[in-house]
Amino acid sequence: MKKLMFIFVGLAVLFLSVPAYAHFQMLYTPEIALEKGGKLDFKIVWTHPFADEHTMEMTTPVAFYVLSQRGEGKVKKTDMKGKLKPITWTGKANSARAYEASVKVRSMGDHMFCFVPGPYYDKHEEAWMQQITKTIVNVGGIPGNWAEPAGLETEIVPLDKPYALWTGNVFRGVVLSKGKPVPNCDIEVEYINHDVLMDKNAFARSNYVEAPQDAFVTMTIKANANGEFSFGIPRAGWWGFAALGVGPEKEHKGEKFNADAVIWIKAVDMK
Amino acid sequence: MRKKIFIVGLLVFGLLMAGQAFAHTPLCSCYDNGDGTITCEGGFSDGSSAAGVEMRVLNSSGNVLIKGRMNEDSEFTFKKPDGSYKVEFDAGPGHVVEVPGSEITE
């Protein structure tokens, strides 16, 4: 009996000690600063991009579209929801439903891709989650609407071009909910710590870096009183920013609901 | 004396203003529409419009085949010439972009 109790306590400790790494809605395409327009392949995965210890099952997406603008031209909205195809994404620990999309962008300028996933029920937190996500692609170096709000329920509006960052640059953004800045909110930052294997729908098993301690896996930073944040980028590659629970909706199906605002950036080494 | 300083000042000011106007880079890219026409898009690195910029299509011996201007959407569409050609986006001295026809694909 005592033995059983011992095992039980041991198990409990084991479960409790599983670190709560940040969930991130990936909206990934290998290159976001393009010379010319062409086909873009997106992998849309609900995962923990640094540790890759659990891939979560996505539900049916709510929206996927792109807002394109060249210079001072008109902003053009193109619905891309019909391009979404379910796939099975393989992480280190498990496989789960994710999505992919193959889309074409032609025009020079900015192409702001917006993805609204279906709500996800997190048993551990006993709450619904939804990460409204933006990835901004540029063609040919002509800027467009990168610094404009997309008009999402909640979003991060960049103050630096997310596709034109050198390693060591600072990335700044403003967190908005219903178009208004969210003061003092928490923002989680994570690095995609593995090769993204586009043709295998999987992460590579090997990590780029090892974190010395859990606080380095998911870095939590704070917005200031104006809802602005900044982050110095220490390494080339993909970085995700998730402003937590900032969406205006707080309840879904009678339970707690957290809508996060996510944006992805890509830094490039100077060489 | 005063007048001289004023003139020098004016010159320096003019120079600075001119410098500012050149702080952006002209950009132009073309694609084949697949229906016998080519569309070129243009603009500047600061996002300003290329409407009205002169566009020229030249053959391999440098003769101008087609001449026109960027429309209000900073676009220019023309009939694809036979043989090799190049496109010039001419926004003034130091602001010319050349696009070889061989790089224009669908």
Contact yes or no for A72 and B41 at CB 8 A: no
The overall longest dimension of chain B from CA atoms, in Å, is: 67
Tell whether B46 lies on the interface with A, counting CB pairs under 8 A. Answer: yes
The whole-angstrom distance between residue B66's C-alpha and the CA centroid of its chain comes to 15
Contact yes or no for B74 and A37 at CB 8 A: no
By C-alpha distance, which of A230, A228, A239 is closest to A265?
Answer: A239
By C-alpha distance, which of A165, A158, A168, A119 is closest to A243?
Answer: A158
User: Is residue B18 situated within a structural domain?
Assistant: no
Nearest CB among B29, B46, B50 relative to A140 is that of B29
Contact yes or no for B29 and A70 at CB 8 A: no
On chain B, the residues whose CB falls within 8 A of the CB of A144 are: 47
- Digit-coded pLDDT (tens) for B43-61: 999 999 999 999 999 999 9
Looking at residue A99, its pLDDT comes to: 98
Whether the pLDDT of residue B14 is over 80: the answer is: no
Tokens 């960049």 sit on residue? A158
What is the rounded distance in angstroms from the CA atom of residue B20 to the CA atom of residue B36? Answer: 40
Whether the pLDDT of residue B94 is over 60: the answer is: yes
Answer with the residue of higher pLDDT: B4 or A119: A119
User: Is residue B8 situated within a structural domain?
Assistant: no
Q: Which two tokens stand for residue A237?
A: 């590659």
Domain boundaries, position A232: 20-268
Answer with the residue of higher pLDDT: A65 or A53: A65
Tell whether A143 lies on the interface with B, counting CB pairs under 8 A. Answer: yes
On chain A, the residues whose CB falls within 8 A of the CB of B73 are: 73-74
User: Is residue A228 situated within a structural domain?
Assistant: yes
User: Is residue B60 situated within a structural domain?
Assistant: yes
Looking at residue B21, its pLDDT comes to: 44
> To the nearest whole number, what is the mean pLDDT of chain B?
85
DSSP A66-94: EEEE-TTS--EEEE-GGG-EEEEEE-SS-
Q: pLDDT category, A2, cuts 50, 70, 90?
A: low
Name the DSSP class of A28: B
Interface of A with B in 22-41 (CB under 8 A): 36-37
What is the rounded distance in angstroms from the CA atom of residue A54 to the CA atom of residue A49? Answer: 9
What is the rounded distance in angstroms from the CA atom of residue A196 to the CA atom of residue A238? Answer: 10
Looking at residue B106, its pLDDT comes to: 85
Name the DSSP class of A47: E
Tell whether B35 lies on the interface with A, counting CB pairs under 8 A. Answer: no
CB contact at 8 A, A158 and A146: yes
CB contact at 8 A, A45 and A52: no
Partner residues linked to A68 by β-bridges: A76, A111
User: Is residue A119 situated within a structural domain?
Assistant: yes
CA distance, residue B27 to nearest chain A CA (Å): 7
Q: Look at A19-33, A75-89, A234-248 and tell me which has the smallest mean pLDDT.
A: A19-33
- Digit-coded pLDDT (tens) for A91-148: 999 999 999 999 999 999 999 999 999 999 999 889 999 999 999 999 999 999 999 9
CB contact at 8 A, B55 and B69: yes
What is the rounded distance in angstroms from the CA atom of residue A160 to the CA atom of residue A231? Answer: 11
Whether the pLDDT of residue B96 is over 70: the answer is: yes
Q: pLDDT category, A53, cuts 50, 70, 90?
A: confident
User: Is residue A10 situated within a structural domain?
Assistant: no
Q: Look at A6-20, B50-64, B88-102 and tell me which has the smallest mean pLDDT.
A: A6-20
CB contact at 8 A, B29 and B76: no
Q: Look at A17-21, A39-43, B30-34 and tell me which has the smallest mean pLDDT.
A: A17-21
What is the rounded distance in angstroms from the CA atom of residue B44 to the CA atom of residue B91? Answer: 10
What is the rounded distance in angstroms from the CA atom of residue A45 to the CA atom of residue A179? Answer: 26
Tell whether B51 lies on the interface with A, counting CB pairs under 8 A. Answer: no
CB contact at 8 A, A29 and A41: yes
User: Is residue B2 situated within a structural domain?
Assistant: no
Tell whether A161 lies on the interface with B, counting CB pairs under 8 A. Answer: no
Q: pLDDT category, A7, cuts 50, 70, 90?
A: low
Tell whether B74 lies on the interface with A, counting CB pairs under 8 A. Answer: yes
- The ipTM assigned to this model is 0.73
Q: What is the mean predicted confidence (pLDDT) over A161-169?
A: 98
Number of domains chain B contains: 1
Looking at residue A3, its pLDDT comes to: 59
CB contact at 8 A, A162 and A267: no
Q: Across the A/B interface, how many CB contacts are shorter than 8 Å? A: 45
By C-alpha distance, which of B49, B105, B38 is closest to B76?
Answer: B38
Looking at residue A4, its pLDDT comes to: 58
On chain B, the residues whose CB falls within 8 A of the CB of A107 are: 41
- Digit-coded pLDDT (tens) for A177-200: 999 999 999 999 999 999 999 999
Task: Give me the percent of chain A exceeding a pLDDT of 90.
Answer: 89
CB contact at 8 A, B22 and B46: no
Domain containing B56 — which CATH number? 2.60.40.1930
CB contact at 8 A, A191 and A235: yes
Torsion sign across C-alpha atoms A95, A97, A98, A99: positive
Number of domains chain A contains: 1
> To the nearest whole number, what is the mean pLDDT of chain A?
93
Answer with the residue of higher pLDDT: A165 or A16: A165
Contact yes or no for B27 and A141 at CB 8 A: yes
On chain A, the residues whose CB falls within 8 A of the CB of B49 are: 71-73
User: Is residue B13 situated within a structural domain?
Assistant: no
Domain boundaries, position B93: 25-103
Looking at residue A22, its pLDDT comes to: 84
DSSP B48-105: ---TT-EEEEEETTS-EEEEEE--TTSEEEEEPPSS-EEEEEE-STT-EEEEEGGG--
Nearest CB among A37, A71, A74 relative to B48 is that of A71
Mutate to test the interface with B, among A35, A110, A142, A163 (most CBs of B within 10 A): A142
User: Is residue B42 situated within a structural domain?
Assistant: yes
What is the rounded distance in angstroms from the CA atom of residue A61 to the CA atom of residue A149? Answer: 21
User: Is residue B79 situated within a structural domain?
Assistant: yes
Name the DSSP class of A163: T
Whether the pLDDT of residue B12 is over 60: the answer is: no
User: Is residue A14 situated within a structural domain?
Assistant: no
